[in-house]
Structure formats: structure tokens, C-alpha cells
Amino acid sequence: MAFGLLAIFFAGCATTPPPPSKPGELEVAEVAEITVTATAALEQMATEGRFLDAALGYSKLSIEALPPQQNQYSLRTAELLMSGNYVPQASQLLREVDLATLLPELQSRYALLSAEIFLARELPEEALVTLDKLAPQLIAEPETPAAERLRLHRLRATAFEQLNNYLEAAREHIALEPLLVTPEAILANQEAIFTALQALSPEAVQTLQTAAPPDVLSGWLELTNIGRSLGDPTQGDADLATWRERYPEHPALDSVISAVLAARPRVLPLPRQIALILPLNNRFAKAASAIRDGFFAAYYDQQPSVTNSFFNSNFLGIDTPAISIPIVKIYDEGDDPTLIGLVYEQAVDEGAEFVVGPLNKDAVNQITMRSDLPVPLLTLNYSEQRPTQTDETFPLNLFQLSLSPEQEARHAAEKAWMDGQSRAAIITPASVWGERVARAFSERWLQFGGSIVEKQTYDNKQSDYSLPIRRLLNVDESAQRKKTLRRLLKNKIEFIPRRRQDIDFIFMVARPKQARLIRPQLRFHHAPKVPVYATSHSYSGVIHADMDRDMDGVIFSDMPWTLATEGDSHTLKSDIERLWPNASKRYSRLYALGVDAYKIIAELNTLRRDRSNYYQGETGDLYLDVENRLQRRLIWAQFQRGIPRIIKEF
């Protein structure tokens, strides 16, 4: 058996083990006693979470032992490495275990560890094949240790979760619950059941309720339905009382049931008064004005009787008492983010039943730290805090909408991966914004298993980007080879500069001015056919075929408002462009944000009821994630002859 890799891995972790005793130096009984003492100490280390130390100890024992005990120690070493998340080392060592000479009682542990390694590598199908062969034996054999049965069901649950088969994942969690001992483990398992069933669509939950009480799974499905349905607290209590009558022996803990009801979304009545909080008197004022105007454009667009009077004048009034539509009051969010809570409270005190804003990220961070939001709040940026529905302080009335550049960067990574790319190069401005976008792309790209072969930054105040582009493409190295060959051969040679060949695509972070310069310079430096992906920030939002001709081939994502050429949004956009011809071009996407900020209010009940639903907004197809953040599905386009052409997705 080869132990070279493991020896290298453990080198430096501890001192070199002493050589084994010579035969005859110790009696067999003494050796056995020492071994038992050693393994007890090593298992105590594992209990304390010192997995690497314990694995090192077992590796020493395996080197000194003879088959079949050597295999047993090697298997335990691999298990401990896996417990410490040393996946490659555990996998390598497991391959060195001789399965043919492994004791029968250890073969199930070998299979379970194999499946665990498959899951760590996100290969759920292979894990299930391994577990399916093992399951009948483990389940049927009455003497199977409870720990192995428990591990089997947990691994199967994880495999089904990775395959998005949440029903089967819930079944496995239900099957393992009788094997659990501690209250903490039972609570965590029941939360996992509820989380898995929440991922099913409402239609699926309803359809799967086929077995009559006291079927445990049906009881969980009904409880999921109660937790998902919209209603007031009184109705929730009544639904729960009926459920308890139907399932009096159901194992669901009171704490889990309470959490289900606490997370139950309340019906959001259409507000009679809306507060719009925006920074109207600082450096964000122009952007805020565009959002405000888009908000009111949508507000009046939904009222045919006032549409004409609005769009034929510069009127931006906020009071329309003769018409049964919400009153909208505007509040300045101010320059001090720490005071945003007072602005929110003032709006509520003055009758607001729904609040939209603030916009500034610091103000959003402040307001989302509150656990008490008496009326619903839709912020116009994402907070840096990432609460979850299980947090006691999670404000159920909090919703967030944003034109997040990081979100678009992640979309670019997803698009490139779906297109079959694997090796990325990144060029980004040397700025905080550029680094944020590049980091978001990189994190998502690496999650897919892609590689980043090069990253370069550029000064966006310059117009010549040849230096970072040559470094990105490794053209300088090619030129250096030419010089070396000429010196060695002492002769003139024919030479054509070559770029590196290990780049599948380039992710370009750039504003329109810089993008129009970077793309042709990439062509000049021998990368004319390398695909270039970008975010919407590389497109001005206005068709300029002559100016954007050098952008041909660039693939980017953008919102329907910018790319669509027909439909209701196009009509509303045309009206806005007529009213504000200058601002509407520069702040086009912010007008769309304002439109969606108003229209989405009436859609939140539907989106909360079923998070697989989406609303076709102007900033994208909008859907709610588990953190009540409105995520955007964007449209993909590619420049052709200087004009963005929508890429049809199949």
C-alpha cells in the first residue's frame, strides 16, 4: 500500500513516528493493550474535533500494522480526514484501502465514506448509486449500528438536496429521526424537513398530500401549506388547531410549529398611502429624481383617467383626492444615514402604509438592522447584512430591490458557464467599484469549478490600455521569446506575436467610454475571436451604432426597459423620454427602477405565496428569494454592427 501522498501531507504536522519495534521485543498481549490505549486516545481527539491529529495517529498505526487491521486503521484515517474536510487526502487514502481484504463489517463504512466524498465533490448521482447498493443491506440487517443507519439517511438526504429532489430529501430526514437521541439533533432535523418541503411549489405540496392521517409526511406537507399560506395570526391559530386534531401524534416539535407560524407571510393590503424616501438634496439628487419620476410615471400610468393630463404637462403633483388611488408623500432621506429610522417613523406616523426607500446603501444598512417595521418597507438597494428567515430579528415586512452590479457580474459567470466556457481572464478598472464587480464574478465563477488564468486592472482615466491588455494576453512573453531566439541564433527570424492560448473568454468590467476602447485594443493584440462578456454598465442604454461598432461581439446582460422595442414598457418609456429628453437617456435604468418600485407593491403577495413565480418588470423578471430580496432575471444581448441584438434563449 502506498503512503507517499499521506506522508507528504502529514509532514510538518507532527514529529516523525518512531520505527516499529522489532519482532519479539513486545509480547502480543502487550502490543494489543498498547494499541487499545492508543486508539482510545485517538478517538478522544476526534471527539474534541482534533481530526487531523487523530488521523495522524491512525496513519502511524496503519503503517505498523498488518492486514486486515492495517486496512481498518487506514479506513479510520480516511474517515477522520473527511471529518476535517480534507477531501482530496481522504479520497486518495480510500483508494489505497484494499477492499478485497476489508472485513465485511467495515465494507459498509467504506461505501458510506465513498458516498460522502462524492457529495463533497457535488456528484450526487454517483453517491446515490453507491448508497442504493448498500441501503438494503444496512436497513434489513437488525445488527447494523444505529450510527451507520443514521449516516446512510443523512447522506441520501444530502444527495437528493443536491439534485433538487426535495421531496425525497424530506423522506430521508423523516426516516432518520427515530435514530436521533438529543433534542438539538431532533430540532435541527425537523427544521431540515420543513426547509426541504418549503422548496416545493404550492401545487406540488397540495398534490403530494395523498396519504391520510396519521401519515407523517402528509402531516409535514399540510404544516408546510399552513406556513406558506397568507393570512392573519387568528386564521393561523385556527389552521393549526385543525391540523393538531388531524395529526395528534405527529412528531413535529412545538418550537418548529411556532417557527412555521412566525414565518407565515401576512397578507399585505394595498396601501392607501405610500411614502417615498429618496436623497433629494445631495450628490445623489439627480439619480433620485429619475427614480421619483419613474415611480410617478407608473403611478399615473395605472390610472387611465389621469394619464393624459400627466403626460401632456410637467405636473408632478402627489395629491389626487378625487381618484381612489394611493396618496404618495415624498421624504428626503437626508445626508446622515443614522437618522433614516426617524424618517421612516415620521412617514408611518403621518399615515404611510407602505414605505419605499431609502436609496443610499449606508441608509439601507441602518434601516435593515431594525427588527421592528410596523409597515412594509421596500429598500432601493441591498443591505450588507444577510438575515435569514430563522433569525428572530428578521423583519418579515422588509423587501429589497437593487440594480446591483455584483448581481449582474454573477449572471455573467452563470452565462459563460452555460455557454461551455471554463477558463476566464478578467480586466477591470483599478477602483473600488471595479474590484467589487470583479470579486463577485470570481466568487461565482469559482463556485462552478471554473478557473481564472489572469486578472489585470486599468486606469479608467487613460485611453491607452495596451499595457494591461498585453499582460492579460501574455503578449509581452511572446515578444521576449523573439528577442531570446534572435540572440541565440544571431540571425533575423520571421516572427508573429502570439497571445496566450489558455483563455476561453474575457470578463470585461467597464463603462461605455472604456469598453469602446478596450474591445478594439483586444483585437489589435491578437484576441479578435476570444468571447468577451460584460455587464450592462458597458452599454450606454442608447443606440449609437457608429460609436458602438467597435463593441461588436461583446455579450452583455441588460433589463427589458433598455433592450425591449415594443410592448407596454416601450410606450411608457417613450412618454418619459418625451417629458425628460436629456435626463431619460443618462438615467434610463433608474427610471425603470422607479417604475418597478411602484408596480411591484401590488405583486408582493403573489411572489411571497410562491417564490417560483416572477413578475415581468422593467428592470428584469423579478422574483423573491428566501431573504425577501427581489432578484432580477435579465436579457442577454450581443453587439452586431454597433447595435445590441437580443440573444434568444432556448
Q: Cell 531570446 appears where?
A: 484
Position 18 pLDDT exceeds 60 = no
236 backbone φψ class: left, alpha, beta (φ>0; ψ -120 to 50): alpha
The rounded mean pLDDT for the chain is 83
What pLDDT is recorded for position 140?
62
Question: From CA 529, how far away is CA 503, in angstroms rounded?
Answer: 11
* H/E element, 590: helix 588-599
Cell of 192: 431540515
SS (H, E, C) 290-328: HHHHHHHHHHHHCCHHHHHHHHCCCCCCCCCCCCCCCEE
Query: Look-up: residue for cell 494489543?
Result: 32
CATH 3.40.50.720 fits 164-264, yes or no: no
Contact at 8 Å (CB) between 399 and 393?
no
For β-strands 354-356 and 398-400, DSSP reports them as unpaired
Domains 272-400+565-632 and 405-559 fall in the same CATH topology: yes
Nearest-angstrom CA–CA distance, 560 and 37: 69
Q: Which helix (H) or strand (E) holds 378?
A: strand 377-379
Sheet holding 555-558, edge to edge: 451-458, 423-429, 505-508, 532-534, 555-558, 635-640, 643-646
**Most confidently predicted of 62-76, 252-266, 475-489, 506-520:** 506-520
Burial class (CB in 10 A: 0-12, 13-18, 19+), 140: exposed
Using alpha carbons, select from 121, 131, 44 the residue that is nearest to residue 82: 121
pLDDT digits (tens, 9 = 90+) for 566-617: 554 567 888 888 888 877 678 999 999 999 999 999 889 888 877 777 899 9
The pLDDT score that the predictor gives to residue 489 is: 53
| Residue 128 predicted with pLDDT over 50 | yes
pLDDT of residue 32: 46
**For residue 204, how many other CB atoms are within 10 A of its CB?**
15
- Residue ranges covered by each domain of the chain: 1-102, 164-264, 272-400+565-632, 405-559
Between β-strands 630-633 and 621-624, what pairing exists: parallel, antiparallel or unpaired? antiparallel
The span from the CA of 504 to the CA of 525, in Å, is 16
pLDDT at position 389: 44
Question: What is the structure's pLDDT at 256?
Answer: 82
CATH topology assigned to domain 405-559? Rossmann fold (3.40.50)
Q: What is the pLDDT of residues 406-455, one digit of tens each?
A: 999 999 999 999 899 999 999 999 999 999 999 999 999 998 889 999 99
Phi/psi of residue 329, nearest 5 degrees: -115, 135
pLDDT band at 477 (very low <50, low <70, confident <90, very high): low
pLDDT level of residue 313 (50, 70, 90 thresholds)? very low
pLDDT of residue 490: 55
Q: Angle CA(287)–CA(288)–CA(290) in degrees, nearest 5? A: 65
Torsion of CA 618, 620, 622, 627, to 10 degrees: -120
The proportion of the chain whose per-residue pLDDT surpasses 90, expressed as a percent, equals: 48
CA 193/CA 446 separation, integer angstroms: 30
- The mean per-residue pLDDT over the stretch 103-120 comes to 89
Q: Domain 272-400+565-632 maps to which CATH number in 3.40.50.720, 3.40.50.2000, 3.90.1720.10, 3.40.50.2300?
A: 3.40.50.2300
Kindly report the pTM of this predicted structure. Answer: 0.62
Strand-pairing partners, residue 457, are 428
Name the residue with cell 473568454.
Answer: 505
- Average pLDDT on 288-316 reads 67
The strand order across the sheet containing 398-400 reads: 327-332, 273-278, 354-356, 377-379, 398-400
- In the prediction, which pLDDT does 36 show? 64
> What's the CA gap between 514 and 468, in Å, rounded?
13
**Amino acid 204: pLDDT:** 83
pLDDT confidence of residue 569: 56
Amino acid 414: pLDDT: 92
Distance separating alpha carbons of residues 52 and 10, to the nearest angstrom:
9
Residue pair 291/278 in contact (Cβ under 8 Å)? The answer is yes
pLDDT-derived band at 512 (thresholds 50, 70, 90) equals very high
Q: What is the predicted pLDDT for the residue at 85?
A: 84
Q: What is the pLDDT of residue 496?
A: 53
